[in-house]
Amino acid sequence: MPGRARPKGRPRFGRGGRVFTPPETLEYEARVREAAESVFAKPLEGDTLQAIIYVYVKGKNHADLDNYVKSILDGMNRVAYLDDKQIKDIHAYLRFVTDKADERVEVTMNE
């Protein structure tokens, strides 16, 4: 998926103590979902899935890798797989690029 990855935002508290996910996170997860829908005809059903994730960002100003992984996997939930509890093995890599045009996320799912 082209473009800069967005880390999972921390839950926020609204009026009356209501907890919500930041809009930026929801927008990014929707972009991930759309990208996954263009690849997966139906969700994988195996119970021992492996996710291999490469996050490419420009510069050294970046979030924690685990926060990127969380937003990516949450966006793919129910599209690439039925539920993220199916994922038993995750390999994630943060790589740096010199050109903003090269920022992207690459995901491989294996059964």
Dihedral, 96, 9, 50, 4 alpha carbons, nearest 10: -30
Full-model pTM: 0.90
Which residues are CB-contacts of 84 (< 8 A; sequence separation ≥ 6)?
73, 74, 77
The pLDDT tens digits of the residues spanning 37-54 come to 999 999 999 999 999 999
The pLDDT tens digits of the residues spanning 1-16 come to 999 999 998 777 777 7
Q: HSE of 47 in the Cβ direction (CA atoms, 13 Å)?
A: 0
The pLDDT tens digits of the residues spanning 90-109 come to 999 999 999 999 999 999 99
Domain 12-110 belongs to what architecture?
Answer: 2-Layer Sandwich (3.30)
- The pLDDT value recorded for residue 32 is 98
Is residue 108 helix, strand or coil?
strand
Q: Count other Cβ atoms within 10 Å, centred on residue 12.
A: 12
Domain range annotation of the chain: 12-110
Give mean pLDDT, residues 16-35: 90
User: What are residue 54's DSSP bridge partners?
Assistant: 93, 106
Give mean pLDDT, residues 19-29: 89
Q: What percent of the chain has pLDDT over 70?
A: 100
